[in-house]
Copies of this chain bind each other. A is one copy, B any other.
Amino acid sequence: MDISEIEHLFKHNNWLDQLPLHVIQGLIAVSKLKVLNKGQILYAKGDSADGMYCISKGKIRVSNVNSQGKEMVLTWLENGIWFGEISMFDNLPRTHDAHADEKSHLLIVPKLAFQKLLQDNPHFYPYFMRMLCQRIRVTFNLIDETGGLSLLGQLARRLILLVNGLHNAGQHQKTKQIGISQESLAHMINSSRQTVNKLLNQLGQKNIIKVDYGMIEIINMQELEALCEI
């Protein structure tokens, strides 16, 4: 990964891109690269944080384990996504587990460097206040839009969430494919594999999605969005 590629990662973020170029370059100078192999853990819930991450390649699974020991996946994060900023800002433990689902390349902005940046340049605070507010709005949305939906509605909402990402709005949409097993999907909406299988195939017959082995592709996004109303 060369410098221009790294700069691009910063420019891709709605908040970091507000920083003057020389500040970005300062952050890049102290940032580190990290490569995770498939299945490797990045951090666990409760870990203390070393910094904030951006994915330059690969896929990270953000999840935690519920009281029955079942893994509940919050979301997957992919190229260009920044994450892990909460613990960086408040110095408290990680809220989730993060695993690499495939070989992944990450950029790490160290916590101390970032905190020093803010300390030395308090006028940058508002950018990151807004960044945090945005996170809150997204999670509120998740809570609100899930409540009151039928199972089919929840499934549709979840599929959209999985392609668009739980992360910050305004991303240019990539492929509309989701690599996920029906069992994982079932876990996410607190349902059974069999029911999810039935519902997915119903959507498949209506040509709204295409169901494959370990893979779902969204064909008709409008229809899917309409289903989120039920």
Contacts and interface: CB of A to CB of B under 8 A. Distances in A.
A133 B74 contact: no
Interface string A51-91: 00000000000001011101010100000000000100110
Copies of this chain present in the complex amount to 2
A187 interface: yes
A23 interface: no
A136 B136 contact: yes
A67 B228 contact: yes
B133 A89 contact: yes
Contact of A132 (B70, B95, B133, B229): B133
A70 B130 contact: no
A12 interface: no
B67 A140 contact: no
A118 B95 CA distance: 28
A144 B66 contact: yes
B140 A143 contact: no
A68 B149 CA distance: 9
A111 interface: no
Interface stretch (A33-41, A121-129, A171-179): A121-129
A169 B122 CA distance: 27
A103 interface: no
Interface in A201-230: 228-230
Contacts of A125: 118, 122, 125-126, 129
